[in-house]
């Protein structure tokens, strides 16, 4: 037995090897195509940063003492975290369903909770890896200060968990790739673009401010941004409660779907 094998035997008890293996497989799955799953979203976010900051910097001032380019970065990071967390769980599940290899997981003794845990953690990890890469590259462009790091961590974790869970629901529900595209194009994309990534909702007319407050992405972006600048459109604690509650509700729905075998076991 190799040294590495001995180490992994010590660390992972047989009781947790099942979910750990599924998590490891899900992480390797996105890492094997890292150019598509990590590098591409980082480049996209940097292009947004380049274009919007070039066009709007000097014309728009959202918070006092915060240049527009700096204002933009937390929103872009969080938007990418959320989109990639959703993409990870949803694309893995729909691919496995369409190709038929989900059967390898369904035949195992993994519980519905372990299944959920593994897909959720993989989604969170991909979201955080993409977000961290954008942050590291953006640091070279703009000087960004962090005022409440725990707030940043809390919103990044809860936001990616919420979207990762939503991705599991979408992956279970959809039977075809075009059904998955409906989620991406008609839910995730509009909600993330209309969440205040590029602007403060206080710059909108009152009616659209109210509409924006119905968008869960708004709370995740605003709370995450609060961690950087110590100012936001709404109290971060309210945002944290809304995001946390939304995650719990979606997690319960997902666990119920998995336990009943909805669309997975006839």
Site for another protein in 23-52 (CB under 8 A): 24-25, 28-29, 32-33
Task: Count CB neighbours of 145 within 10 A.
Answer: 9
> Closest CB to another protein among 104 and 177?
104
Q: What is the distance, to the nearest Å, from the Cα of residue 48 to the centroid of all Cα atoms in its chain? A: 18
> Closest CB to another protein among 20 and 218?
20
Annotate each residue in 77-116 with x if it binds another protein (CB under 8 A) or - if it does not, as one string: -------------------x--xxx-xxxxxxxxx-----
> Closest CB to another protein among 25 and 148?
25
The label of the residue with tokens 């947004």 reads 48
> Closest CB to another protein among 20 and 198?
20
Instruction: Tell me how far apart the alpha carbons of residues 55 and 60 are, in angstroms, rounded to a whole number.
Output: 10
Q: Which residues, at least 6 apart from 156, have a Cβ–Cβ distance to it below 8 Å?
A: 78, 81, 127, 128, 131, 224
Q: For residue 3, state whether it binds another protein (rule: CB under 8 A).
A: no
Q: For residue 157, state whether it binds another protein (rule: CB under 8 A).
A: no
Contact 142, 69 (CB under 8 A): yes
Burial class from Cβ neighbours inside 10 Å (0-12, 13-18, 19+) for residue 76 reads: buried
Nearest distance, CB of residue 202 and another protein, angstroms: 45
Sign of CA dihedral 30, 36, 40, 41: negative
Q: For residue 231, state whether it binds another protein (rule: CB under 8 A).
A: no
Contact footprint for another protein (CB under 8 A): 1-2, 5-6, 8-9, 12, 14-15, 17-18, 20-22, 24-25, 28-29, 32-33, 96, 99-101, 103-111, 261, 265-266
């Amino acid at each position: 037995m190799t040294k590495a094998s001995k180490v992994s035997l010590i660390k992972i008890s047989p009781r947790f090897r099942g979910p750990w293996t599924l998590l490891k497989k899900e992480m390797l799955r996105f890492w094997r195509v890292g150019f598509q799953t990590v590098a591409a979203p980082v480049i996209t976010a940097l292009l947004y940063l380049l274009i919007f900051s070039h066009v709007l910097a000097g014309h728009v001032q959202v918070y006092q003492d915060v240049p527009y380019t700096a204002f933009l970065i937390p929103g872009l990071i969080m938007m990418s975290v959320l989109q990639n967390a959703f993409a990870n769980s949803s694309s893995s599940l729909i691919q496995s369903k369409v190709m038929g290899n989900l059967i390898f997981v369904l035949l195992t003794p993994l519980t519905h909770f372990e299944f959920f845990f593994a897909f959720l953690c993989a989604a969170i990890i991909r979201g955080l890896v993409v977000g961290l890469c954008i942050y590291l590259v953006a640091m070279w462009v703009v000087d960004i200060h962090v005022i409440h790091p725990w707030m940043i961590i809390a919103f990044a974790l809860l936001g990616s968990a919420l979207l990762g869970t939503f991705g599991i629901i979408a992956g279970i529900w959809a039977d075809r790739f075009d059904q998955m595209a409906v989620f991406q194009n008609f839910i995730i994309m509009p909600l993330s673009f209309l969440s205040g990534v590029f602007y403060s909702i206080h710059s909108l007319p009152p009616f659209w401010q109210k509409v924006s407050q119905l968008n869960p992405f708004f709370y995740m972006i605003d709370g995450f941004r609060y961690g950087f600048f110590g100012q936001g459109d709404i109290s971060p604690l309210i945002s944290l409660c809304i995001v946390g509650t939304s995650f719990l509700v979606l997690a319960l729905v997902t666990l119920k779907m998995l336990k009943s075998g909805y669309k997975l076991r006839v």
